Amino acid sequence: MILKKLRLPLVIFLFIMVASTKAVEIGIPFTVGDAFSLGARIHITDSYAVEPLVGFQFQDNNNALSLDIRNLFYIREQNDLEHYVGGNIYVTFQENIDTQFGLGGFYGLQYPITDAVEIFGELGAIFNIEPTSIFSTLRSGVGIIFYIR
């Protein structure tokens, strides 16, 4: 049942990832926070990146899958530490709960460990639009990015 609901969003998500492969720089981020996420951080310019993500959350009777499109704007670099802000749009499919749709915003820091590996941390907020309009939660996450250069 859930797979039928996910078919079209997954096709759209995969199309975005494949269609964007002409970008200058692609990273594969892994995030651990309120959910485990992975996707592609596609740097279009030095100051802008788009990041489609798939998130997974496993709890006792409430597993969830989320699709997320994030826009990252790198605002400054200070001693190799990059500061960025961004916004995202997401849809979440959960067992026994209505599908959720919403918007979010975040602030993050990114630091290179090597030329191909960087770590990052983020703080943000989420606003659910569907099924009810409410300020949902504050969120945080840390992760690692493996860049293909």
Nearest 5°: phi and psi at 16? -60, -45
Q: What's the confidence (pLDDT) of residue 46? A: 87
Domain annotation for the chain: domains and CATH numbers: 2-148 (2.40.160.20)
Q: What's the confidence (pLDDT) of residue 21? A: 47
Q: Say what the pTM is.
A: 0.77
148 vs 104: CA distance, rounded Å: 27
Q: Could you read off the pLDDT of 91-147 as tens digits, one per residue?
A: 988 877 788 899 999 999 999 999 999 999 999 998 988 877 776 678 888 999 998
Indicate if the pLDDT at residue 57 is higher than 50: yes
Confidence tier at 76 by pLDDT (50, 70, 90): very high
pLDDT, average across residues 24-53: 84
Q: Between residues 104 and 149, which one has the greater pLDDT?
A: 104
